[in-house]
Chains A and B, each alone.
Chain A
Amino acid sequence: MANAEKSPFSLQVDLDDFLPASNEEKEYMVQMRPSSTFFRDGCKRLYKNKVAFISLIVIVFITLACLIIPSFWPYSYEQQLGVQPGKPVDASFLNLAPMEYSRSELARIEAGESVFPHLFGTDAAGRDYFIRIVYGTRISLMVGFFASIIVLVVGLTLGSIAGFMGGKVDLVIMRIVDIIYSLPDMLMVILLAAVLRETIGTSLEGTPLARIGANIISLFVIFALLYWCSMARLIRGQILSLREQEYVLASQATGAGAGWIIKKHLIPNSMSVIIISTALQIPSAIFTESFLSFIGLGVNAPMPSLGSLASDALNGITSYSYRLVIPAIVISLIVLSLNLFGDGLRDAFDPKLNK
């Protein structure tokens, strides 16, 4: 039967199908590369997105710089260089131009000593401006980061309560969200900041929180009170829509408990959305902080923030305009790169939102 033409309608088993696989056929089954996970796919997409990747580098660079530089910089942000105990104030330290030296420093250079340069000069109180910028950046980044964490925690808690409990609880929480959402946020922030400064300022004294300053704490309180709404809405929406998905139904049908569904379906599926909106919250918090600092409701002096540095620079704007331009550039750079990075994260990890 070797050469016999087989009828296409024959029901006889084709013995060729049962031969061992040849090497060539075996190759089809070899895994060419390991299967990719969602996270790895996202990272790859993010890496390919040049704008987002460069923004990430800028953010990492700025963050590292403001963490590391203060540890070896010879000047501190509050040290008034012209003021030394027991001596009259050395006025030649005030308002130095970038890279300029004061009289006593020039004398020391003459004597062969090396003096660390004032990269951006000094301010009107004789403080090294470069280190103030570095500290200001640190404060602004810190405020942005913690404010978004606070928003995340409050929003996550209330949003998931609303989503899981449903019914009256959901209704009440969502009506509160509606009202807070339609409040003009900036005006409320200013109002609360002005008042909280007065109310909690005195009760803070002596506690470790006093160092951070009442204004920054009221900023956090404000974020916890007002900015959780969109996060709560988002999380509630995620929970409601994910709960109705077929795969959740399928795992319920196969006997999965609530814990399993939360762990395996709800959290992984809403993770990317949550991370992205938290990331995008950081620049908006930095914006708010600099705005408040600018109108005098921000960090306590002598601690600098980028907004308060810009605001202080307004006084000497005609002669020392670089003092405003530098913090302006830093704020814009941070906000711009955080925004671009957040957009990149969204494109990479949430293909659904992209449409």
Chain B
Amino acid sequence: MDSKTLMYILKRIVLAVVTIWAVITITFFVMKAVPGDPFASEKAVTPAARAALEAKYGLDKPIFEQYLNYLTGALHFDFGPSLKLRGRDVTAIIFDGMKTSARLGLTALVIATVTGIILGAVAALRRNSIIDKIIMVLTTAFVSMPSFIMGTLLLILFAIHLKVLPANGATEGGLILPVITLSLYPMAYITRLTRSSMLDVLGQDYIRTAKAKGVSERNIIIKHALKNSLIPVITYFGPELAYIVTGSLVVEQIFAVPGVGRYFVSSITGRDYPLIMGTTIVLASLIVVMNLLSDIMYKIVDPRINLE
């Protein structure tokens, strides 16, 4: 790694830190801008009780001090108590839901990436064949379908009409449909990405050289073509994770999966502000960090690339 790459990585890390800070700041002040206070929904709070509550949550302090407190809390993963789920800390709720969500998200991520690469490579190697055309038509359709529609259509087909898979995400095998729903879009995207970059690579001079040297077709595909055509796929890891995180918000809702996404959506409708803030910050940081990693990986894998 030369100094230029290191400089780049450093710059990206600084940008990521600034972004996470921006997320925390925006969420904090945006939430403070909401009219009324968090206790407005309580039934007839006496002024004394309200003052006590405000003192307990530090809401009587000047706003800037509250902000600093929240910022230091957020750095320690302390987002305060939830307003609606009594007696539970936002952090505990998030980590609780994260177990299921992470399982769902990671499985979808792996499945989408692996099948996407395989399908993309097959489509590129059999260019213009009937297989290629079928793959391209299907992926175009998947890319144009919002995840909530995909999810509900799968739900209707497999859980209601065919009755082969459970509709409830909390039951045995219940994560199968959510995983499929979440992985279809990124899979289609990766397929198209791999196909076009593979076609690009297959036209390169070094592939012809390898062929002329008498390297077997299998070796050419695996060692030269596939390896090089995976570089653009790396950059997609960040956006892919972002898609899966936001997609899981609705997918968990549809299939009743007890994950972070469901808490997030229900916290919005229930106006549980600390929970909204906490989940936004955690999920956003996750996406920012993943984007950072995939950009750095990209730069290391192919130092020729100038990302400026």
Contacts and interface: CB of A to CB of B under 8 A. Distances in A.
Interface of A: 178-179, 182-184, 186-188, 190-192, 194-195, 198-199, 202, 283, 287, 290-291, 294-297, 307, 310-311, 313-314, 317-318, 321, 324-325, 328, 331-332, 335-336, 339-340
A325 B153 contact: yes
B148 interface: yes
B146 A336 contact: no
B131 to A, nearest CB: 19
B284 A192 contact: no
Given A184-B242, A295-B253, A324-B156, A331 B30 contact: no
9 contacts: A182-B16, A184-B23, A186-B242, A187-B245, A187-B284, A290-B148, A295-B249, A295-B250, A317-B160
Task: Identify whether the interface residues of A are mostly helix, strand, loop, or mixed.
Answer: helix
Nearest to B267: A194
B156 A317 contact: yes
B280 A191 contact: yes
Interface centre among B18, B23, B141 (most CB of A within 10 A): B23
A186 B246 contact: yes
Contacts of A194: 268, 276
A199 B33 CA distance: 7
Interface centre among A187, A291, A296, A314 (most CB of B within 10 A): A187
B152 A183 contact: no
B63 interface: no
A186 B279 CA distance: 13
A183 B23 contact: yes
B189 to A, nearest CB: 12
Contacts of A294: 146, 148, 250
Interface centre among A184, A307, A324 (most CB of B within 10 A): A184
Given A307-B148, A325-B153, A332-B144, 14 more contacts: A179-B19, A182-B291, A184-B242, A190-B264, A194-B268, A198-B34, A199-B35, A291-B146, A310-B148, A310-B149, A324-B149, A325-B156, A332-B145, A336-B141
Nearest to A328: B149
Contacts of B245: 184, 187
A133 to B, nearest CB: 14
Contact of B34 (A195, A311, A331): A195
A182 B292 CA distance: 9
A179 B141 contact: no
B283 A184 contact: yes
Contact of B19 (A182, A297, A318, A325): A182
B55 interface: no
